[in-house]
């Protein structure tokens, strides 16, 4: 069953590529919370709802997230022209092998793309992100390697994730100087509790270099859904092994109080708190797409209905939201 609200699309920065305003990502959920069958149901629900961008990363579940997504897409038989597929490189999946972990050196990038394509069972990725900045590799080396990946046909667009504005600008200027493929997009965290990078630090980059953004964690790891006010549910990501670092943040009293101040606003608008938080992110015109996550198809449908909330976010409502989380 597709969402009732029709999907809208935005250009990825200054590129001609159009992404669905709400997209679907696999972080945490694939492998840890669901295997192929449920992943297929969620991805099909997203696709039926107009989603055309599916986000992943080499490091998610040690490569298994990419493999699950690849198997699902093959089983669904989608036309390769109908969706945009991404991955991110930096952390590596090769244990403690020197040159293959926590790096953006040329050797790693050239080998990582081949293994990623094998897991996805595809010939190319539409988007590839440098998952974190690498202080031990010259930015120029990384820019040349990413440009060469595009020239090889294995990647169509490249960008960054959680890079500083200065690092992004340096990469762009190196590419400009050497007539190389420039970074097109950045994937930063953005939500009601993490705003400064998207709203302030990158402000000049949108006009100066045409930066697009594919934002992650719009619900602040589920915090903005309001489901943690009674503790950490056993079926939530906060209860997963390896995510103990989330638990303190998800149950911090002052933060929970701010979340609860959003509840009456959501009630007045006739939406869930998750829908309010997603709509708030999507209402920012500098956001190319909001990456959503889900562990069951009903969550996909609920998330995508947040599109209907965006027109309800008047200046008055936005002011009230700001005051609630201040």
- For the question of residue 108 being annotated catalytic, the response is no
Q: Which residues pair with 191 in a beta bridge?
A: 194
Q: Which of 60, 83, 202, 228 is catalytic?
A: 60
Q: Which residues are catalytic?
A: 60
């Amino acid at each position: 069953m597709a969402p009732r609200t029709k999907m809208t699309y935005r250009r990825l920065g200054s590129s001609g590529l159009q992404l669905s305003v709400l997209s679907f990502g696999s972080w945490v959920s694939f492998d840890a919370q669901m295997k192929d069958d449920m992943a297929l149901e969620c991805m099909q629900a997203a696709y039926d709802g107009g989603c055309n961008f599916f986000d992943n990363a080499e490091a998610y579940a040690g490569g298994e997230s990419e493999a699950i997504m690849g198997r699902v897409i093959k089983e669904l038989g989608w036309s390769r022209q109908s969706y945009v597929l991404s991955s991110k490189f930096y952390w590596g999946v090769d244990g403690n092998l020197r040159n293959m972990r926590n790096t953006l050196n040329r050797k790693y990038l050239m080998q990582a793309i081949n293994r990623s394509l094998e897991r996805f069972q595809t010939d190319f990725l539409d988007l590839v992100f440098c998952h974190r900045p690498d202080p031990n590799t010259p930015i120029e080396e990384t820019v040349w390697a990413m440009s060469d990946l595009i020239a090889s046909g294995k990647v169509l667009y490249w960008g960054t994730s959680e890079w500083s504005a200065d690092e992004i600008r340096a990469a762009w200027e190196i590419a400009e100087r050497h007539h190389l493929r420039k970074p097109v997009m950045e994937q930063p965290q953005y939500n009601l509790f993490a705003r400064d990078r998207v709203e302030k630090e990158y402000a000049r980059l949108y006009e100066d270099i045409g930066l697009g953004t594919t934002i992650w964690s719009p619900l602040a790891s589920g915090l903005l859904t309001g489901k943690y006010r009674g503790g950490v549910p056993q079926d939530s990501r906060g209860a997963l092994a390896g995510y103990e670092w989330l638990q303190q943040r998800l149950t911090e009293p002052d933060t929970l109080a701010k979340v609860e101040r959003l509840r009456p606003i959501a009630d007045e608008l006739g939406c869930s708190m998750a829908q309010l938080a997603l709509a708030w992110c999507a209402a920012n015109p500098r956001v190319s797409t909001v990456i959503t996550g889900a562990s069951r198809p009903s969550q996909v449908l609920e998330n995508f209905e947040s599109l209907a909330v965006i027109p309800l976010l008047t200046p008055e409502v936005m002011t009230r939201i700001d005051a609630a989380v201040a």
